[in-house]
Structure 1
Amino acid sequence: MSPDENKDSSSSPPSRRTFLLASGAAVVAAGAAIVSRFTNAPALLGLDRKSGPRISGGWVNESAALGHRLRDGASMPTPRRIVRVPAVAVGGGIAGLSAAWQLERHGFRDYVLLEMERDAGGNARGGENAVSRYPWAAHYVPVPGPRATLVRELFRELGVLTDTGWDERTLCFAPQERLFVHGEWQSGLDAELLGSHTGRDELHRFDDLIAEQRRSGEFTIPMALGARAGSALDRMSFAHWLDAAGLRSPAMRWYAEYGTRDDYGASTRDTSAWAGVHYHAAREPTEQGPLTWPEGNTWIARRLAARVGTRLITGTPVHRILSNGRKGWRVRAGDAEYLCDDVIFAAPTFLTPYIVEGMRAPGFVYSPWLVANLTLDRWPEERGVPPAWDNVLRSGVGLGYVVATHQALRAREDGPTVWTYYCALTTRDPATERRVLQTSTWSDWVERIMMELAVAHPNIRRCVTHVDIVRLGHAMVRPTVAFLGADARRDPQWAPRGIHLAHSDLSGLSLFEEAQYRGVVAADAVLASQHRR
């Protein structure tokens, strides 16, 4: 998802040829203008009625301070009580919840699941206000194919999949996607490509190449069923692969980059060709989804958490995991020390050297993101096709917005709504982007978002009443070149005995299906370990 330059509605649009020739320069100029204006943006709290009503809101779900304390080796509470339990799961995101789901399915309930935040879910958390429920990150699951058996089993349990098919209320309603380009909204993310002979030719060649890769069997979900560490595509960037294929038009490159920014928070230069191809080849072209809810994947997370019951302990950050010799592990969290045989580490793997005794850093790269939920009292002005679930703008630094009220049967196009705006921070290296993100102000970001959306919605400032923003410094792992061969992924001795890594970053793909798969694999290892005792 990403924004486009606005045009006066009375002027005629440029020809397709003129646009394609000028597109590269226009995108650079637009990006520079937005960054320049953002740097000197005023705080929104002082806007007068001429510019628009005051907008309330602030930062939410702020937990970076605790992560920085772990990183810096700050002192933590001394345990005041001892709890003996065979297994401890660390991290209540989808991986940890899925591990618990698998343990429960096998009748194993002698464990605890410890989660740092007040609510479980990780990137699948969400919120709610008087208008709608809404997601804070993950907002859909593609309809799982026949090989994604675990996802299908879960959705059968949740009633999403029945003998008659998928619950129609969970399938994304039409229209699903639109693109703001050439001064108006157009249907589909490939609208620009379909608008020219060059674009149609490149899209056809791209689809043929993806179909060929799909037939190879290397691109599966879960990825462990097909991925090969020695894949030639893992040794080059996706940008290099596109160059080699002769796919160079600005429209084609934007289309490809949208995919890598959307799923990996990275440019095509910083994504392996294997991962870039996986985004397109791992799904069936006839897939009828996605599956979605107003609150996104929070709908799933809350139901998984309910199955765990009192074994889920939230608001309890794990700050140290120490070897207990042949007796297993000592897990320190809050004022308690848990003595256990096995640990499922479902928190991001980059945390292991700060928490787990004797473990080293995996060397993974993580993408920073910013997500904002905008409450609007009415739908703003626009031009083109009707609103869709996913609304993508052609140029700029953001990824557009998803409409939380899209799945609400009683939602009115002219009534109040909630938009979830996404921005993957890919311009600079991740460490620099994280520093800038942590030092920027809420009002600066609101101004930046308003500027981007005003391209497609000129009166957006008069419609938005509230903006809450979350900063995600390590939102998702980046599948960089040579990621498939990383030691942390391939070496079975990389984690000490009794520590079972479960985060989706081991797949290099921050997907629901990958988190579920990793959690279940770790739970199976614990079940086997407990069976041997």
Structure 2
Amino acid sequence: MPIRPHFTRREILTAFLGLPAALAACRSHPATPTFSGSIVGMSDTIGHRIRDGLRVQPTADQWRRVRVVIVGAGIAGLTAAWQLQKAGCDDFVVLELERDPGGTARSGVSTVGSYPWGAHYLPVPHQENTELVAFLEEMGVVEGRASDGEPVVAEQYLCRDPQERVFYRGRWYEGLYLYAGASTDDLAQLHAFDAEVNRWVAWRDTRGRRAFALPLATCSDDAEVTALDTITMSEWLNRHGWHSPRLRWFINYACRDDYGLTLEQTSAWAGLLYFASRIRHPGDTAQPFITWPEGNGRFVAYLHDKMRAQVRLGLAAVDIIPDTNDPPQQVDVIAMDSATQTAVGFHAEAVIFAAPQFFARHLIQPYREHPPSHLGAFEYGSWLVANLFLRDRPANRGFPLAWDNVIYDSPSLGYVANTHQRGLDHGPTILTYYYPLCEADSRTTRKKLLGMDWESCADVVLTDLRRPHLDMRALVERLDIMRWGHAMIQPRPGFIWSAARHRASVPFRHIHFAHTDLSGVALFEEAFAHGVRAARAVLAGRPELGHAV
């Protein structure tokens, strides 16, 4: 049910943006938008029907045999299919309940250009991430190797300058750390934090493994490292005596950006991963970003184009039934076409479950009857994402429009300018706005978000963007909203190195699991690695290879 009938406009804006922003909005501009838009994507209706016990039975003529069924056409599922195809196996089908592939990496296109609905960049991987580097070479993104073996990315795929700016007290400043007005103590704490990150970059265990690397399967499990997962990032900062508001804002932004959590909620291990995994050698700058106007939707399009015939969009898996033989011989998968409501079935030798873990308890028959305890450990954050289609650029005070544009006093992450990477600095543009809902109770937060109508969501977005751009409402021609109820896994303290996360990746009766939530962090590198791993285990016929350590 929409949230608007139960709450006033001021109450909604206060909940999302704080009372001062709400009061200013209610005094200064009307709530009713003068442009069009809609809530797009995310088939929560069919998802809720599955959650509530939807069961269908295909007729005898609607069954077919297939070697592998992949459930989910996000990055992990598409990567698994790509890996199967590379090995010469085309006998697979990918089931996706949405009408578009990609999951949280999906994108859209308009007459102005393309734009992301979620993930929008990839840091250049280190050479040790061999599979991902090879994939980028196949795409033509990596055009060679440096003398030390590190991948060289073609310049047109690297984020162009200026990359980032922050809005503070009426003016835009370059970068994300707010140097303007920083005290000597602020800068000393920033430098001390950088030095500690570099200490971890240099750190190696007795086996030569880094403390923080991608994919996570290559990280050290030394006790000194894993102990960081027992405290929050805020507690870790406190132990170092770092209380600078600017430093804590900067690190808090990083936690919200990658994990949808505040530094008071994020595992210190995950917080340090954000910084240390992106630096090759101590003293180096962080790896540059690979990006396109559509963000990681470019990866989705590339993978989808390679296996378009095997990807069944709008076909939702509703029941996964492994046989009871020992050893098991096959897995039956029943799916329903969301448009026609007709059921189809697959007799598969193996299943790659490339959907989030919260679906497993509803789809896998034995899990419904006896849910594994580890499923309860997975917590997911909700995000509000909007794409604003503007007839012209908003006015700027201070540093000019960048790729990433952050508002210091906002609970949102600001916006990405999607025409920036195309070198278009004037005229119409598309801005992608991101708001992670970081409340402590993720279930209540999810319900609140999914209960909001388009008008309420649009009002939150425009009220927030009015802080730096008084002319924003007048420039909007269309505003579309995506409500991600289960946007990403949350790396709260104790989860990354938990037995629950470890158990979730163990294959179950020819069902192999592949999704970024198995890593505890929602990163492209992790989804890709899990897809490769699961596909290889299926091809080898060795369940133990499907276990992500």
Shift of 1:69: 1.3
- What secondary structure is seen at the aligned counterpart in 2 of 1:278? helix
CA displacement, residues 234-292 of structure 1 (integer Å, 9 cap, x when unaligned) = 11111110111111122111111101100000111211110011000101143452010
Q: How does 1:78-89 map to 2 (within 5 A)?
A: 78-80=58-60, 81-89=62-70
Amino acid at match of 1:337: G
Kindly indicate whether residue 110 of structure 2 is the aligned counterpart of residue 123 of structure 1: no
Kindly indicate whether residue 410 of structure 2 is the aligned counterpart of residue 412 of structure 1: no
Shift of 1:497: 2.6
Equivalent residue number for residue 340 of structure 2: none
Query: 1:395/1:277 Cα in 2 relative to 1: closer, same or farther (>3 Å)?
Result: same
Aligned pair partner of 1:109 in 90, 105, 108: 90
- Equivalent-residue separation in structure 2 for 1:316 and 1:431 (angstroms): 27
Aligned pair partner of 1:219 in 177, 189, 212: 212
The answer as to whether partners of 2:17 and 2:411 remain within 8 angstroms in 1 is no
Kindly indicate whether residue 76 of structure 2 is the aligned counterpart of residue 95 of structure 1: yes
Q: How does 1:16-31 map to 2 (within 5 A)?
A: 31=18
Q: How does 1:176-187 map to 2 (within 5 A)?
A: 176-187=163-174
- Equivalent-residue separation in structure 1 for 2:231 and 2:242 (angstroms): 16
Structure scoring higher RCO (CA < 8 A, sep ≥ 6) equals 1
Equivalent residue number for residue 10 of structure 1: none
Shift of 1:300: 1.0
- What secondary structure is seen at the aligned counterpart in 1 of 2:128? coil
Amino acid at match of 2:38: G
- Equivalent-residue separation in structure 2 for 1:229 and 1:351 (angstroms): 32
Equivalent residue number for residue 447 of structure 2: 435
Question: TM-score, normalised on structure 1?
Answer: 0.89
Shift of 1:205: 0.7
Amino acid at match of 1:153: A
Equivalent residue number for residue 159 of structure 1: 140
Moved more, 282-291 or 211-220: 282-291
- What secondary structure is seen at the aligned counterpart in 2 of 1:213? helix
Moved more, 325-334 or 281-290: 281-290
Kindly indicate whether residue 275 of structure 2 is the aligned counterpart of residue 272 of structure 1: no
Query: 1:452/1:429 Cα in 2 relative to 1: closer, same or farther (>3 Å)?
Result: same
Query: 1:101/1:482 Cα in 2 relative to 1: closer, same or farther (>3 Å)?
Result: same
Shift of 1:202: 1.0
- Equivalent-residue separation in structure 1 for 2:70 and 2:17 (angstroms): 47
Shift of 1:429: 1.6
Shift of 1:499: 1.1
Query: 1:494/1:520 Cα in 2 relative to 1: closer, same or farther (>3 Å)?
Result: closer
Kindly indicate whether residue 154 of structure 2 is the aligned counterpart of residue 173 of structure 1: no
- What secondary structure is seen at the aligned counterpart in 1 of 2:389? strand
Aligned pair partner of 1:33 in 7, 11, 20: 20
- Equivalent-residue separation in structure 2 for 1:41 and 1:322 (angstroms): 57
Query: 1:464/1:87 Cα in 2 relative to 1: closer, same or farther (>3 Å)?
Result: same
- Equivalent-residue separation in structure 1 for 2:15 and 2:228 (angstroms): 29
Shift of 1:198: 2.0
Query: 1:281/1:464 Cα in 2 relative to 1: closer, same or farther (>3 Å)?
Result: same
Aligned pair partner of 2:47 in 50, 67, 78: 67
Question: TM-score, normalised on structure 2?
Answer: 0.86
The answer as to whether partners of 1:194 and 1:200 remain within 8 angstroms in 2 is no
The answer as to whether partners of 1:219 and 1:226 remain within 8 angstroms in 2 is yes
Equivalent residue number for residue 404 of structure 2: 390
Kindly indicate whether residue 145 of structure 2 is the aligned counterpart of residue 132 of structure 1: no
- What secondary structure is seen at the aligned counterpart in 1 of 2:365? coil
- What secondary structure is seen at the aligned counterpart in 1 of 2:489? strand
CA displacement, residues 374-424 of structure 1 (integer Å, 9 cap, x when unaligned) = 011011112001110000110122110000100113x133x0000000000
Equivalent residue number for residue 235 of structure 1: 230
Shift of 1:116: 1.1
Query: 1:339/1:512 Cα in 2 relative to 1: closer, same or farther (>3 Å)?
Result: same
- Equivalent-residue separation in structure 1 for 2:15 and 2:101 (angstroms): 40
Equivalent residue number for residue 484 of structure 1: 496
Shift of 1:492: 7.7
Give the paired residue count. 497
Q: How does 1:45-56 map to 2 (within 5 A)?
A: 46-47=32-33, 54-56=34-36
- Equivalent-residue separation in structure 2 for 1:227 and 1:124 (angstroms): 28
Equivalent residue number for residue 355 of structure 1: 363
Shift of 1:41: 11
- What secondary structure is seen at the aligned counterpart in 1 of 2:101? coil
Shift of 1:113: 1.1
- Equivalent-residue separation in structure 1 for 2:193 and 2:405 (angstroms): 23
Shift of 1:211: 0.9
Query: 1:40/1:212 Cα in 2 relative to 1: closer, same or farther (>3 Å)?
Result: same
Kindly indicate whether residue 359 of structure 2 is the aligned counterpart of residue 378 of structure 1: no
Amino acid at match of 1:427: E
- Equivalent-residue separation in structure 2 for 1:68 and 1:531 (angstroms): 31
- What secondary structure is seen at the aligned counterpart in 1 of 2:290? coil
Runs of 4+ in 1 over 6 A off after TM superposition: 27-30, 36-43
Amino acid at match of 1:278: L
Kindly indicate whether residue 351 of structure 2 is the aligned counterpart of residue 343 of structure 1: yes
- Equivalent-residue separation in structure 2 for 1:110 and 1:338 (angstroms): 12
Shift of 1:490: 1.9
Equivalent residue number for residue 310 of structure 2: 311
- Equivalent-residue separation in structure 1 for 2:64 and 2:29 (angstroms): 52
- Equivalent-residue separation in structure 1 for 2:250 and 2:89 (angstroms): 46
Shift of 1:328: 1.7
- Equivalent-residue separation in structure 2 for 1:106 and 1:305 (angstroms): 17
- Equivalent-residue separation in structure 2 for 1:119 and 1:490 (angstroms): 31
For structure 1, the 5+ residue unaligned runs are 1-26, 48-53
For structure 2, the 5+ residue unaligned runs are 1-13, 146-151, 204-209, 337-342, 545-549
Equivalent residue number for residue 414 of structure 2: 400
Q: How does 1:285-296 map to 2 (within 5 A)?
A: 285-296=284-295
- What secondary structure is seen at the aligned counterpart in 2 of 1:483? coil
Shift of 1:66: 1.5
Query: 1:306/1:225 Cα in 2 relative to 1: closer, same or farther (>3 Å)?
Result: same
The answer as to whether partners of 1:239 and 1:268 remain within 8 angstroms in 2 is yes
Shift of 1:63: 1.1
- Equivalent-residue separation in structure 2 for 1:43 and 1:525 (angstroms): 57
Give the RMSD, CA atoms, in angstroms. 2.4
- What secondary structure is seen at the aligned counterpart in 1 of 2:380? strand
Moved more, 357-366 or 393-402: 357-366
Shift of 1:321: 0.2
Amino acid at match of 1:310: A
- What secondary structure is seen at the aligned counterpart in 2 of 1:490? helix
Amino acid at match of 1:506: L
The answer as to whether partners of 2:17 and 2:460 remain within 8 angstroms in 1 is no
